[in-house]
Chains A and B, each alone.
Chain A
């Protein structure tokens, strides 16, 4: 199976591990991530103003490129996934945005939200299957106690994201279990890390992250797993627990972590 792949700006820079291990794991699991050529940054946050058009165009272009290739579009970064999926929903369901965005696109056939947007975790759950994944684990993470950190962007708003139960998600715990480790469920796993606020008000983000990491540490997690570079950056500042990308754990369990890093 071949998917169009949208890495996003941070995966080219500060989050290279998130990208590298996603690619290696895809190979190990028997599917292909074909990077879109000429993708542009998604902008990091979905533009909430209902009259915003220009800020949605990078996503529309990526979505249409995947459509042209007849492929589903996969993102690994929580923020890219969030933005792509919400813009896609606008293009499918909001006539005004669909018309005005297509006015910029000069396409033979207008884009109307046809592309399916998938997070890499959804590929694991819905296409590969966690049972199959379990069979491919060569280095089970037995004895490791891992807390899932969902944050905001994967889950909310659930009517559009439709990723998992927004209040009681299970996908990351199921993922952790498939790798042979023990998931640690703690109450702050879908609370906000502060997001963009850490640029101008690092103390505010730090107080939020401190609650999250203290809660997870209190439930005896050894580390937290995330899909978001900004969550990782913010949570790292609290220094209580190691914060790792889910792709890094996956690569370790699949035995593809060492080598040509």
Chain B
């Protein structure tokens, strides 16, 4: 497990030990209500190397990368980067992608912008 937490720290470039638990990230998060592990708790899970719980958490898939937590963190911990890194640890493995090509046709409508597909590919797959 600790190997995965090292990987998350490396991919994110974030030092979770700098967190002072002020909760500003969770207060800013537009997906807060959707998350089982909240952004400030996410940081603690990485500190405690409890990565199994993180990779199974639905929070992983609810982060919008809106950068509100990144912008407002007074300690430069950037929880959004940690969450994305935990996601990367999963989706970089074959079979762990959050979006498959077969799913896509049913998700489109006449107005779907190319930008949405590109962004979703980046966020759900390698």
Contact = CB atoms under 8 A, between A and B. Distances in A.
Contact of B84 (A41, A43, A48, A200): A48
A198 B116 contact: yes
B117 interface: yes
B10 A55 contact: no
Given A49-B84, A156-B66, A157-B71, A13 B30 contact: no
Contact of A199 (B80, B84, B116): B116
Contacts of A204: 31, 34, 62
A192 B99 contact: no
B106 to A, nearest CB: 11
A74 interface: no
A50 B118 CA distance: 20
B85 A49 contact: yes
A236 B85 CA distance: 31
A26 to B, nearest CB: 22
Contacts, number: 122
Interface residues of B, number: 38
A12 B120 CA distance: 19
A158 interface: yes
A241 interface: no
B13 interface: yes
Contact of A196 (B12, B31, B34, B123): B123
Contacts of B71: 155-158, 166
Contacts of A43: 118-119, 122
Contacts of A169: none
A202 B109 CA distance: 12
A173 to B, nearest CB: 20
27 contacts: A8-B115, A9-B115, A15-B113, A43-B119, A44-B117, A44-B121, A45-B122, A45-B123, A47-B122, A49-B88, A50-B10, A50-B13, A51-B10, A152-B64, A156-B70, A156-B71, A192-B68, A194-B30, A195-B119, A196-B64, A196-B120, A199-B107, A199-B112, A204-B34, A230-B115, A230-B119, A233-B113
Interface of B: 10-13, 30-31, 34, 62, 64-68, 70-71, 80-81, 84-85, 88, 98-99, 103, 107, 111-124
Interface of A: 8-10, 12-15, 41, 43-45, 47-51, 55, 77, 79, 152, 155-158, 166, 191-192, 194-200, 204, 208, 228-230, 232-233, 236
Given A77-B115, A152-B65, A152-B66, 7 more contacts: A8-B115, A9-B118, A10-B114, A43-B118, A45-B65, A156-B66, A233-B111
